[in-house]
A and B are shown apart, each in its own frame.
Chain A
Amino acid sequence: MTAETALLIDFGSTYTKLRAIDLDAGTILGAGQGPSTVTSDVNVGLDAALCDLEKQLGVLPDFTHRLASSSAAGGLAMITVGLVKELTAEAARLAALGAGAKLIGAHAYKLTEKDAAAIAAQAPDILLLAGGTDGGNEETIRWNAEKLAAAKLGCPVIVAGNRVAADDVADTFRDAGIDVRICGNVMPEFNVLDVEPARAAIRDVFIERIVHAKGIDKAEARFDAVLMPTPAAVMEGARLLAEGSDAYPAQGPLIVVDVGGATTDIHSIADGEATEGGVIQYGLPEPYAKRTVEGDLGMRHNARTIVETVGLENFADESGFDAETIESFLAAIEADVERLPSNDDETRFDTALACAAVGRAMVRHAGRIEIKQSVTGPVTVQYGKDLTKIETVIGTGGVLVHGDAPDEILSAVLFDPAEAASLRPKRPKLMIDSAYALYAVGLLAGVAPDAALRFAHNNIAAAAANPKDEHHGHSPAA
């Protein structure tokens, strides 16, 4: 009997990347890469990548599963609209990010004609419209639907707002010839978050419409399905690892840190409830599977912002480089964002950048506590997720996989007594996903969860034991 195998395809914005996986052994058979040819014919890049893979394997196996994800043509660009900024607008934003979208706009309250025209001009792939709890405010979501319909919005709309108004709102779009579907409210009751229906709807639209709009369906006979936007695959992988399968025990709540050239992403799979007694939870409860994307903390496209965010002086102290040297490194990166470190100093500089990016991204993702003074004494109030007791943190992304100090970089997620209000993990196990296994795990989660986890356990290793020269995997997220 031949082994069960899977071919995983990532239609990226720069490359078409393939990975062949032996599902029985849980190992990588080989990887192939071709150019991204989404703008012309997606098959050309796929052929080149398959050719590359065939060279390694000798002969291509008859794959049991052929699954794809896509981050091509700018990824899944979304705009969200809600009512109150901290309530339904925030819930919509969290839902879109959790579905792996690239958020290009987030609006609250009533849109003006100008706002709506600007949104239409931005040409997102999907617009997510929320507003009002079920039975709550109807006026704003109706108003916003009218404005968006009048602005001739050119993309599908998902309505995830007040259910009382949802049918009328959908009619408004339908009458304007706009593709629309209704899903459950992202906030059915005040301060109750329910992002899963919206995430599922986003996934459906992605599969039905966006794959076609981006020209990927030209190759559709050659794979079973394009399942999700690439960032969503990492989230799904993390989720499966946390929850386990029939054959593999649950790993429990965990965090994934993905340091990229344009963004630093953090995923947490955890309910984030207070771990200390007597703490009052405040504000919007956050989703169990939460993803944040820090568009100002990318290792290449905004290296300067990373330095500015932590402050030049702090960065100089931490990295050991003087201001002048830092400036010359930044200038070199800005002149060529594809640049890779070519000597020890540049590698150390990249490590320092990554530490700063990971540290800030983690602070923004994690919840925080505040001590409020009341007449009866101080009270501890918690905003967001308490991640102090998280036991596993997994790092991925070029600088963690190929750099020489993955432990040091990943340690930047840790709780800092000097910034004790930030509820970051205190004593987690630090792991490195050097083969970008989580992405594969996410794609396989739906069809072969046991095999997916076998693969995860074989390929995600404790950070200290991480062999530096292991890069048989190709980044799916370039």
Chain B
Amino acid sequence: MSTPLSPEQRGNLTLITGVIGADTHIVGNRILSMALEKEGFKVVALGALTPSEDFIKAAVETAADAILVSSLYGQGELDCRGFKDMCIEAGLEDILLYVGGNLVVGKQAWDDVEQRFVDMGFNRAFPPGTRTPDVVAMLDEDLYAKAKGAAA
């Protein structure tokens, strides 16, 4: 299967990554950032301990196409509350929003968790153990669709 986006197209797309809130778990996020960069995307990696407003400020200044929020310590639901509203407030109503990691505490059905984050305005949520190629494939698909939508 060929990817919908060429390396040149990916090079024109800017992604913001970071670990939200008081969360220091940087390893997974760094692996993801490196993988996305290797696949040709322009990546602005904000790293650990990133307040939600900093994701948005970075996205405004770099005219980013997507924000990928990581959360590993179980507080993701609290940290991500109002994230989409803040994006709209900053003029980023169309930006693609992903979230992934250990998003909630305890054993909860993934479908419920996913739905909760979709309801909060994230386009996609990813469970623990997601492989980077899967994220890349989703990004390709969503960003391609977005570009086509914008052209139409």
Contacts and interface: CB of A to CB of B under 8 A. Distances in A.
Nearest to B45: A190
Nearest to B25: A376
Interface in B57-81: 57-58, 60-64, 73-75
Interface in A261-284: 280, 282
Contacts of B73: 374-375
Nearest to A131: B61
A36 B24 CA distance: 59
Nearest to B21: A374
A379 B49 CA distance: 9
A375 B61 contact: no
Interface in A381-397: 381
Nearest to A87: B61
A133 B49 contact: no
Interface in A62-86: 83-84, 86
A139 B48 CA distance: 29
A434 interface: no
3 tightest A-B CB contacts, nearest first: A136-B62, A137-B63, A190-B44
B24 A374 contact: yes
Interface in A190-205: 190-191
11 contacts: A83-B61, A84-B57, A132-B63, A133-B62, A135-B62, A136-B14, A187-B61, A190-B61, A280-B47, A282-B49, A374-B24
Interface string B6-17: 000000101000
B60 A379 contact: no
Interface of A: 83-84, 86-88, 132-133, 135-139, 187, 189-191, 280, 282, 372-376, 379, 381
A187 B57 CA distance: 14
A86 B24 contact: no
A374 B49 contact: yes
Contacts of B64: 136
Given A135-B63, A136-B61, 6 more contacts: A84-B61, A86-B57, A135-B12, A280-B47, A372-B49, A375-B74
Nearest to B12: A135
Contacts of A375: 22-24, 73-75
A31 to B, nearest CB: 48
A83 B49 contact: no
B42 interface: yes
Contacts of A381: 49
Contacts of B75: 375
Interface of B: 12, 14, 22-24, 42, 44, 47-49, 57-58, 60-64, 73-75
A133 B42 CA distance: 12
Contacts of B12: 135
Contacts of B57: 84, 86-87
A140 B47 CA distance: 26
Nearest to A109: B60
B22 A133 contact: no
A138 B61 contact: no
Contacts of B62: 132-133, 135-137, 190
B22 A137 contact: no
B151 to A, nearest CB: 18
A187 B58 CA distance: 12
A133 B24 contact: no
A130 B64 CA distance: 18
A136 B63 contact: yes
Contacts of B74: 375
Given A190-B44, A373-B22, A137 B49 contact: no
A86 to B, nearest CB: 6
A187 B48 CA distance: 22
By CB atoms of chain A within 10 A, which of B24, B62, B63, B64 has the most?
A: B62
Contacts of A282: 49
Contacts of A379: 24, 49
A137 B24 contact: no
A374 B51 CA distance: 13
Contacts of B60: 83-84, 137
By CB atoms of chain B within 10 A, which of A139, A189, A190 has the most?
A: A190
A374 B22 contact: yes
A374 B63 contact: no
Nearest to B11: A135
Nearest to B43: A190
A332 to B, nearest CB: 47
Given A374-B24, A375-B73, A133 B48 contact: no
A364 to B, nearest CB: 22
B22 A372 contact: yes
A282 B60 CA distance: 18
Given A280-B48, A280-B49, A372-B49, A132 B61 contact: yes
Nearest to A281: B47
A84 B60 CA distance: 7
B24 A376 contact: yes
Given A83-B60, A86-B57, A280-B49, A135 B23 contact: no
Contacts of A280: 47-49
Contacts of B63: 132, 135-139
B94 to A, nearest CB: 13
B18 to A, nearest CB: 11
A273 B12 CA distance: 32
Contacts of B49: 280, 282, 372, 374, 379, 381
A374 B44 CA distance: 23
Nearest to A140: B60
A135 B61 contact: no
Nearest to B16: A190
A9 B32 CA distance: 58
A381 B22 CA distance: 11
Contacts of B58: 87, 190-191
